A and B are shown apart, each in its own frame.
Chain A
Amino acid sequence: MKRVNAVVVGAGAAGGIVAKELSAAGLSVVLLERGKWYTSNDCRKDDLRNQRTTVLGNAFGPEDQGNPRVLVDADGVANIMLPSEGGYQNNAACVGGGTLSYGAMAWRYLPQDFRMRSTYGAPAGSSLEDWPISYDDLEPYYEKAEYEIGISGDDSGTPFRGPRRRPLPMPPLPPNREYQILEPAAKRLGLHPFPIPMARNSVLYNGRGPCMRCRWCVGFACEVDAKNGSQNTVIPVALATGNCELRTECMTREILTDDRGRARGVAYYDAEGHLQEQLSDIVIVSACAIESARLLLNSKSRLFPSGLGNNRDQVGRNLQGHHYTGALGFFDFDTYDDVGPGASIAVSDYNHGTPGLCGGGMLANEFIRLPIQMVDRMPSGTPRWGLAHKQAMRCNFKRNIAVMGPTQQIPTADARVTLDPTVRDKWGIPVARISGNVHPVTFEIGLVQAQRAEAWLKEAGAASTIINAGKPTTVSAGQHQAGTCRMGNDAQDSVVNRNCQLHDVDNVFVIDSSVHVTNGGFNPALTIMAIAYFASEALVRSWKGTGFRS
């Protein structure tokens, strides 16, 4: 197989951007993806089989057969998890990765989100740290992501945001009924509500039409291709350069290294299950936080006996996601208008500045709910089955609003990905073993956030409410997983430098949510994309053919 300049492992939010940036700069690129390339024709609108409701499996991978993980619970008991089970912490396995089927909220983190340790101090037992880059460093790349991927919205109504040079390229979608109910209530509470920024066309953009506002949104591929991910933006551009080859259904087993410890390519299983070697000058790992860590840990050699870049036992640590809390309000009038994507209004007043507590998060109304998603969310006291349950569904399905948000998790070094000593996947590769939990101060602010969500719903006229602020006993990484290959200036407590380059191996990069030092109080997709643009530019700048300028 012909040697190339770069192999990118994973065609998700970050990998697609890296492939496009490198191939546009003239590098030859092979983009490896373990899943398939689905199109909008594959939108099956299957309420029971999608990336959100997975009782009959994940629509966009991985499939339940042959892709286990191990989750260690709070008592130290290891359980094998299937991809359709919550404890698996699945994102997706397909071209586009999570961005094919995500809800598509496209947030910029706030300036304080990059300085969490400086802002709050590190709680004892946490691994809270500042990023080595600032919001200002990332701002131009946020903008680039917003324009190249295509974001709609308008954040001019909130003072709780970082400075931006240009407004978003598309206006927000027109408000749905929940927006109209929640907006005046938020203003009465002194908050600053605004439409959620979304990677979703509200007008013709990038050659594709606007959202048709159906109810099958988060968890589904978009039937009219109005949801913007890497699969319908940057990856087609990468392929059009002629410098990038996308190989789907290819599972990377390990990064190959030479005697000096530098990468010389990857070994992967192709769609027929044959082991292949793709040699390259550089390797970029963009497989999402859990699988990226797993790939590095599985890449063992004489110089890296415990995995590539892991001689200081940092790879896989600081696994985090978001602690979702909020409230569900029941109204005595119809709140449901059957207009997707449903999620429409947010406040970022509560992301920072709660006295005595650490962090916070934005609060927003939830995505539009399908009936199956409401069966366990009836008013308190409703029987779980029988005529009373059926009639509660009939009364309440169209009369509820959920407000919730991704509370920023305070990381710990013990929440981590390791390799399971015995369990292997269908290719025989050791699987990820997930253990530990985030720092308990996360749950304190999570409860306050839920109470704030409840207050907003009550102000909006909710007749009754249910608070949802549990204390998960395992890490809740899931689709927002991050942190496992931390970015930092000090090689002792991080894995990559500010340009996403391994401290120990100059031709291996980790470019995805793994590098997030902290994960903000927002959905992480746009930040993943911005970092991909930022790191790709640094890589191209220092590239001199088959090595790097020093």
Chain B
Amino acid sequence: MQSNRGSGRLTRRQFVTAGAMGGAALAVGCRAHSHGGWDFLRDAQASTLAALCDRIIPADDFPSASEAGVVTYIDRQLARTYRRYRNAYCDGLEQADAISRKRFGRDLAALTAPQQDEIAGAIEKQNRKFFELVRNHTLEGYYGTPRHGGNRDAVSWRMLGLAEPPILGRAQYDLRKGPRS
């Protein structure tokens, strides 16, 4: 899936995507600074979100949420279907860093994993609505179809033991039975 990365020229798909991103950038609401390749998020927001997503689905011998592209999934949706959640994300991520700075003196992304777990638990208590949003969107991005930017290389499906690409055309019939033509 990532084979075009770094090849130095745009494929048609990348060109189309770039155009869509340019269009989406015009509609950005709470983003004040230039961004590093995200459709909606600022880099700092993306780092905070990645830290939170990775507490929801941490790495084991399979990738964490952000390693599997979940931040890309959420970012793309915030520029499209999930436009209605933009304010919730902007406010929620700001609050997450505020809680983190108050308790540990640093932004969420700079903390150790156990510290991040503690902050995630605090967000779950203090801003349940936002936490549920991130939790659900993280699971969508990780376990849903790879076409929307998450579940990179169908990694979660392979983790669960599902064939990807699926084996098609396998009607399970014994062709030796029945009438011969």
- Identify the A interface with B (CB < 8 A): 44-48, 55-57, 64, 173-174, 209-215, 223-224, 338-339, 370-372, 374-375, 384-387, 389-391, 393-394, 397-398
Which residue of B is nearest A56, CB measured?
B81
Chain A positions within 8 Å of B58 at CB level: 386-387, 390
Asked if A48 meets B161 with Cβ closer than 8 Å, knowing A213-B172, A384-B135, the reply is no
Whether B55 and A385, one on each chain, are in contact in the complex, defined by CB atoms closer than 8 angstroms, is yes
Q: B139 within 8 Å of A by Cβ?
A: yes
Interface residues of B in 155-180 (CB under 8 A from A): 156-157, 159-163, 166, 168-173
Which residue of B is nearest A48, CB measured?
B144
Whether A397 and B60, one on each chain, are in contact in the complex, defined by CB atoms closer than 8 angstroms, is no
Chain B positions within 8 Å of A391 at CB level: 60
Whether A372 and B148, one on each chain, are in contact in the complex, defined by CB atoms closer than 8 angstroms, is no
Q: How far is the CB of A145 from chain B (nearest CB, A)?
A: 24
Chain B positions within 8 Å of A214 at CB level: 166, 168
Q: B143 within 8 Å of A by Cβ?
A: yes
Chain A positions within 8 Å of B43 at CB level: none
Which of A174, A338, A393, A397 touches B173 (beta carbons < 8 Å)?
A174
Q: How far is the CB of A183 from chain B (nearest CB, A)?
A: 17
Interface of A is mostly: loop
Whether A393 and B160, one on each chain, are in contact in the complex, defined by CB atoms closer than 8 angstroms, is yes
Q: How far is the CB of B111 from chain A (nearest CB, A)?
A: 16
Whether A385 and B170, one on each chain, are in contact in the complex, defined by CB atoms closer than 8 angstroms, is no
Whether A385 and B171, one on each chain, are in contact in the complex, defined by CB atoms closer than 8 angstroms, is no
Q: How far is the CB of B84 from chain A (nearest CB, A)?
A: 9
Q: What's the Cα separation between A47 and B58 when bound, in Å?
A: 22
Q: What's the Cα separation between A210 and B56 when bound, in Å?
A: 41
Q: How far is the CB of A203 from chain B (nearest CB, A)?
A: 8
Which of A174, A385, A393 touches B172 (beta carbons < 8 Å)?
A174
Whether B77 and A56, one on each chain, are in contact in the complex, defined by CB atoms closer than 8 angstroms, is yes
Asked if A339 meets B172 with Cβ closer than 8 Å, knowing A385-B135, A386-B117, the reply is yes
Whether B148 and A338, one on each chain, are in contact in the complex, defined by CB atoms closer than 8 angstroms, is no
Whether B171 and A212, one on each chain, are in contact in the complex, defined by CB atoms closer than 8 angstroms, is yes
Q: What's the Cα separation between A56 and B76 when bound, in Å?
A: 12
Can you list 20 A-B pairs with a CB-CB distance of less than 8 A?
A46-B145, A46-B147, A47-B145, A48-B145, A174-B173, A209-B171, A210-B171, A211-B171, A212-B171, A213-B170, A371-B144, A372-B139, A372-B144, A375-B139, A375-B143, A386-B56, A386-B117, A389-B57, A391-B60, A393-B143
